[in-house]
Structure 1
């Protein structure tokens, strides 16, 4: 039997850290309103996210086992997008670089630094501006570039490769009203550098989102997003860990405003409605998009 260093951290700390490993990056990977409407070919876009997320209720199998998780995640995420054409379709190759500070007070664990950089692109087989209808298919890969220490339960880097496949359908209705439906699957590689030489794996994660946005001013719109995540059960050396799967519902409300054609400002507030395993969070995000 292995002399497992996780005895000192406890299995709950390990699972908590695993569930949080993608917390800070979700805001850049989650689709925001009208993201699946491509800009014209040749446009470059710099998008900066400022995120602050916190939470206290730690749930296991749907029951709150602690009201003092004391989670705090602060992140600055920089995204660069170039709009072009590939195979005769609009495309947007891009790179996303997160810088994260993450603290879980109940575990006495903190980690900060550059997170896992990810790259990818969307292709639009349907991009009908006249009919206000768009369908985009996206793929991303997370690179294991983030700060990681094998003897810590909480890290800003996951120390594994991750593939993300996403599809988004956008339809403009009437009077500035838009509806969007997005589906996503995340496929995880293994982290083979846990304490005592153990390996951590994770099942696929699935996310579905629905977004409704409505123009209220010239260049400005209010919006709401409902998201559902399921899956992601964790295993250690092939042994499934109880109460490690994700089943989370989240509601987000926001406002976006273009300032002429110079830049767009966006603010949003997110609140978890239900969390099966993990920490219930709420938070705010500010986003600045600058075309160049």
Structure 2
């Protein structure tokens, strides 16, 4: 799935707040303003083209626990904590346009964020996130060789819940555009490789913070690679690595020096419990974080139904 590790993440980043404790982490929190910072994570196999007329209904759930906070590569001396329970409802329809398979789709995140311990002053929030509209166009579609290449534009609309007076928000109050490309190839009869890259450009948030400042952010980039071992038809074991570079933010033109750089991994499995019903589970965590909360544990679950 194309998810926002709402990192999807998949983390819902934060907005800085006025608090006597916030000085040490202000730049870090400003970099994580109100939603996913950059990159759209996918699950291995997402860039497989299905037959024209296929419809998918998917539901995702992610539990993420964060217990460390970093600023410019150094751990902030604070007993930080942030937990999230995030879901995504997604619908996909495969169709033919001009001889190419295209899959218009929507993704609607929802969930809850709760800060704790030394960052408990950030509070908690719940509700819906920003609606995502997307459509992959497959330029290479060779089912017989398990080889696919697709390009996906994402338009992310500022529809999620946002309150400039709250430290945590599921919406970002700004539009974003991501262009992603994904490639799948068979390495052997039982091993396949997925490689995905993207970049994200951001609109302005003109209601940032209690003073209604203007938040801007430079382009962000993401890359990921996945290996799948096909144990049997409909059953695979998988592992992935992810690198996300988030663009530096500025508030009312003042640069925050908060360019992010995060590396993470996950491992898991998928299984078709019925011919048209798939269950997927992965476990992951951050390996390194330059700015922001570091995820110590992340559990992702997905239910997929083909119609």
Give TM-score scaled by structure 2 length. Answer: 0.88
Partner of 2:4: none
214-223 vs 61-70, which deviates more? 61-70
- SS of the counterpart of 1:171? strand
Over 3 Å counting, the alpha-carbon distance change for 1:76 and 1:17 in structure 2 is farther
Q: 2:32 aligns with which of 19, 23, 44?
A: 19
Question: Displacement, 1:121?
Answer: 0.4
Please, which runs of 5 or more residues in structure 2 have no aligned partner? 1-15
- Are 1:14 and 1:153, in contact at CA under 8 Å, matched by a contact in 2? no
- Are 1:46 and 1:289, in contact at CA under 8 Å, matched by a contact in 2? yes
- Are 1:55 and 1:280, in contact at CA under 8 Å, matched by a contact in 2? yes
Q: 2:133 aligns with which of 101, 105, 119?
A: 119
Q: Which runs of at least 4 in structure 1 moved beyond 6 Å after TM superposition?
A: none
- Are 1:17 and 1:155, in contact at CA under 8 Å, matched by a contact in 2? no
Q: Distance in 2 between matches of 1:60 and 1:14?
A: 8
Partner of 1:63: 74
Q: Distance in 2 between matches of 1:66 and 1:88?
A: 57
Over 3 Å counting, the alpha-carbon distance change for 1:108 and 1:41 in structure 2 is same
Q: 2:152 aligns with which of 138, 144, 168?
A: 138
Partner of 1:217: 232
Count of residues paired in the alignment: 285
Question: Displacement, 1:220?
Answer: 0.4
Please, which runs of 5 or more residues in structure 1 have no aligned partner? none
Matches for 1:104-253 after TM superposition, within 5 Å: 104-105=115-116, 106=119, 107-194=121-208, 195-242=210-257, 244-253=258-267
Over 3 Å counting, the alpha-carbon distance change for 1:245 and 1:24 in structure 2 is closer
Q: Distance in 1 between matches of 2:229 and 2:59?
A: 23
Question: Displacement, 1:6?
Answer: 5.3
Matches for 1:73-92 after TM superposition, within 5 Å: 73-92=84-103
Give TM-score scaled by structure 1 length. Answer: 0.92
Q: Distance in 2 between matches of 1:64 and 1:187?
A: 28
- Are 2:217 and 2:247, in contact at CA under 8 Å, matched by a contact in 1? yes
Partner of 1:102: 113
Structure 1 or 2: larger helix share?
1
16-25 vs 156-165, which deviates more? 16-25
125-134 vs 268-277, which deviates more? 125-134
Over 3 Å counting, the alpha-carbon distance change for 1:25 and 1:42 in structure 2 is farther
Cα deviations across residues 55-110 of structure 1 (Å, max 9, x unaligned)? 11101111111452110010121100001112211111000011120122213321
Cα deviations across residues 101-125 of structure 1 (Å, max 9, x unaligned)? 0122213321210110110100001
